[in-house]
Structure 1
């Protein structure tokens, strides 16, 4: 399989993350144990020697063309929008990369474009605002699958209704398969002559959101474009792979790990209360950011700065422990269920038996959202 996609440096403040990845390299890494004969096509200013050695160990062939700038994605946490340097409008454009193959995965790139030709091609535009139409650069495919999130599909189809937009694209021969990623709601698979198929998400012990879309597209492309699985089966494999990746984001995916993944039922929209001290600007920011991320995942959120105002037993609650006393946490644990975000590493919170404890912001957000239906 041929993979055409970016190689970029990625930084994250919490948890600490600093490495050369990007959509192309990450997808190639993810499927390197599932498929032999992976070839990565990309741009780079000068590939680091350790990146070249890493790809050689994986058995991935590496074809790169020079670009004029280093490109960095910087995240405050894995659920935040990245700061991109240079800003996208200032990135100098390179000549297209030409890729021909039986099975091809094409990602959108900041510094150029991949002009691909293949029997089965998967295209992930990687742009929620202005995704490049697949064929505008001369790309062709006998069969084309589009993999994108809701915002990308809405922009790509020019239609705010996801279902209507997908079926109009299929009817106009703009694609043969469309997979719409929906975060904690799983994914929808559209194909001509079929009702949409729902694909669940799968449980992981922790959440590392950076790059999950790259892994999904890579594994879907392997199973659909190379192994000729049905689009529904391939999307399910991809969803399973994301849960594996979240636990070990630097390891290739093993087939055996996909078999033991546990699906999560469809989630309802629930109210989650975000509880914490709001007596400093940093603590208020954390409360607001947590509520924003919960809403972004499709849930409702309400901030409560006075923990003693939580009076109803059994509510779904995210507790930000910073600034709260052990006595306050004990009060909350007795009256609520949910997740406690404890970044300080306090002594074991054994008195909070009714709640889960996480030291990672993004994992705590996901845990309380995924568990909300049974907590409320």
Structure 2
């Protein structure tokens, strides 16, 4: 594997743009391959094709004569694995923790290992890569034992039959974003959570963005109406803001699931939240993905 933009001439190549909205085509610097597989995130695919739909992104990238397969990674929805004759969707494997740093590199490395070194089919290699990423983000392990690799292989082989011709739709329900927004730090965290959930395709209701500040007799009823009509509450619990705690209790009393982020809070003050079924994490990425997976029915 090489990170950078050297000119590559290869018989078989796996290309991961790694540049988000600045992603470039493999042959943009004169690189060429007899057989090319492009692994791109949804944002990278959009950057390279000006298309928004993963199916259209893949179709455009496959127009390159040497490109035999395209994989578009779509977060909790899984990934589209497209060739000239087949478009299949694979699922992500939920994990108890999500360590995002390096996850894209692990997907690329695992796919390359299965496809280039082991000679496995593209779809099978993609499932192997997805399961390997789940192991990595859940454990932060940089190397895997043979026993772990065997388990990863078994899980991915079993999942192969779950390949689908259509994508999994993002649920129509809204995520209610509960959290304080009275300081710069608090507002920044609200903005980050809102962006992360929006970026993965979910509808988000953020009180400060949708309702704003105002008299209590105006703001509270509007917020509670939105909360009552939400499918899940994502609660930013740092500081144990009283308004946020109230919203969590209100949601649980109505059977609305709650996922919470509590980065530096001991378990004892969270007793009622944990005991009432809230899924609490001290990690931002983990809590965001848990909210998405819960809404999609994966956890």
Separation in 2 of the partners of 1:141 and 1:187? Answer: 23
State how 1:207-222 maps to structure 2 within 5 Å: 207-222=98-113
> Which residue of 165, 168, 182 maps to 1:266?
168
> Which residue of 219, 237, 252 maps to 1:333?
252
> Which stretch shifts more, 159-168 or 182-191?
159-168
State how 1:1-376 maps to structure 2 within 5 Å: 3-5=1-3, 109=4, 113-194=5-86, 196-253=87-144, 254-258=148-152, 259-260=154-155, 266=168, 268-269=170-171, 270-304=173-207, 309-310=223-224, 312=228, 315-321=231-237, 322-325=239-242, 328=246, 329-335=248-254, 336-348=256-268, 349-352=270-273, 353-374=276-297
TM-score of the superposed pair, with normalisation by structure 2:
0.78
Separation in 2 of the partners of 1:307 and 1:286? Answer: 21
Question: How far does the alpha carbon of each residue in 1:306-327 deviate from its partner, in whole angstroms, 9 at most, with x for none?
Answer: 7884362884001112342496
Separation in 1 of the partners of 2:52 and 2:6? Answer: 27
| Other structure's SS at 1:277 match | coil
Distance 1:136 1:360, change over 3 A: closer
Separation in 2 of the partners of 1:225 and 1:272? Answer: 41
The answer on whether the counterparts of 1:224 and 1:230 sit within 8 Å (CA) in structure 2 is yes
Q: Which runs of 5+ in 2 are unaligned?
A: 209-218
The answer on whether the counterparts of 1:267 and 1:370 sit within 8 Å (CA) in structure 2 is no
Distance 1:139 1:285, change over 3 A: closer
More helix by share: 2
Separation in 2 of the partners of 1:278 and 1:165? Answer: 37
Separation in 2 of the partners of 1:332 and 1:140? Answer: 55
Residue 212 of structure 2: aligned partner: none
Separation in 2 of the partners of 1:238 and 1:216? Answer: 5
Shift of 1:267: 5.0
- Count of aligned pairs between the two proteins: 266
Shift of 1:227: 1.0
Distance 1:173 1:304, change over 3 A: same
Separation in 1 of the partners of 2:230 and 2:29? Answer: 55
The answer on whether the counterparts of 1:215 and 1:242 sit within 8 Å (CA) in structure 2 is yes
What root-mean-square deviation, in Å, do the aligned CA atoms of Structure 1 and Structure 2 show? 2.9
Separation in 2 of the partners of 1:314 and 1:154? Answer: 30
Shift of 1:137: 3.8
Separation in 1 of the partners of 2:231 and 2:286? Answer: 19
The answer on whether the counterparts of 2:81 and 2:90 sit within 8 Å (CA) in structure 1 is yes
Distance 1:229 1:280, change over 3 A: same
The answer on whether the counterparts of 2:263 and 2:283 sit within 8 Å (CA) in structure 1 is yes
The answer on whether the counterparts of 2:194 and 2:204 sit within 8 Å (CA) in structure 1 is yes
Shift of 1:234: 0.5
The answer on whether the counterparts of 2:175 and 2:230 sit within 8 Å (CA) in structure 1 is no
Shift of 1:355: 1.1
The answer on whether the counterparts of 2:34 and 2:66 sit within 8 Å (CA) in structure 1 is no
Separation in 2 of the partners of 1:285 and 1:167? Answer: 37
Separation in 2 of the partners of 1:331 and 1:162? Answer: 38
